[in-house]
Amino acid sequence: MAALRAAVSVLLGLCLGCAAAAVPLVIWHGMGDSCCNPQSMGYIKKIVENKIPGIYVLSLKIGSNMIQDMENSFFMNVNDQVREVCGQLATDPHLKGGYNAMGFSQGGQFLRAVAQRCPSPPMLNLISVGGQHQGSVYGFPRCPGESSHICDWIRKTLDLGAYTQAVQEHLVQAEYWHNPLKEEDYRKNSIFLADINQERGINETYKKNLMALKKFVMVRFLNDTMVDPPISEWFGFYKSGQDKETVPLKETSLYTEDRLGLQEMDKAGKLVFLGVKGDHLHFSEEWFDTAILPFLQ
């Protein structure tokens, strides 16, 4: 009998240990970055691993190496990237019980697309750090590597034909280019953002999948000079037909018509809006520990 009690105690201890295991984390980097840059995603991965012992952190790499990963953040069709990531997540045994997701800049809206399109394995919490959920326009004031010929070429291309099929298919930033002076062109021709924002009709599956999140955390950089308009990081945008006055999420048709389920999520306390002083993706480790880590534990 004593031996049986001892065995039961051991099994209970193992089960409790399993229950207390850290929820895995998936990270998606932003434009011009890569999965494993020691000064960006590598640094974030190390912080999380140090603060949450035993956590599994997957920093997404699109391509066979860091160079391809960086290049794909400019030139690989976003829908193809999302499809590839969904495949990576579905075949990763560490994630089968669910995971938290954290996207930086454009990685924020890309991971939202994953949540909407690929519910298995389940995304539990989504943290968007500077993601442009209503898109960006006239932007690109600080493309990574200001003197880079890539940045100059992208600026010119976006100005000339952001909504042409060739540009949409092959330039990432065009796929979330949202021009309030050309709303009809945007709704008709945007192959990524207009789709995940339900601009051409209601995909009930997208809505259902996003609403399954426990928390959707949106971080806005209060002194952002890269995202135009910065309120896009909280799902706000310019009033249609002009580029001066902005409206918050609750005054957009996306919210009032509840095309994506955000209104219902808001009422259920699932939407979290965080503001941090500083320019785009500029934050301290102390702020990260205080504001973000609680959603990962």
| Bridge partners for 237 per DSSP | 247
Q: Which of 34, 105, 136, 232 is catalytic?
A: 105
Known catalytic membership, residue 170: no
Whole-number Å distance between alpha carbons of 61 and 40: 14
Query: Can 149 be counted among the known catalytic residues?
Result: no
Is 218 within 8 Å of 272 (Cβ atoms)? yes
What amino acid is encoded at 100 in this protein?
Answer: N
End-to-end CA distance of the chain: give it in Å, rounded: 38
DSSP of 52-119: STT--EEE---SSSHHHHHHHHHHS-HHHHHHHHHHHHHT-GGGTT-EEEEEETHHHHHHHHHHHH--
Pairing assessment for the beta strands 246-247 and 271-276 based on DSSP bridges: unpaired
Q: Do 210 and 115 form a contact (C-beta atoms < 8 A)?
A: yes
The one catalytic residue among 33, 224, 228, 258:
224
Q: Is 258 marked active-site?
A: no
Catalytic site positions: 105, 224, 280
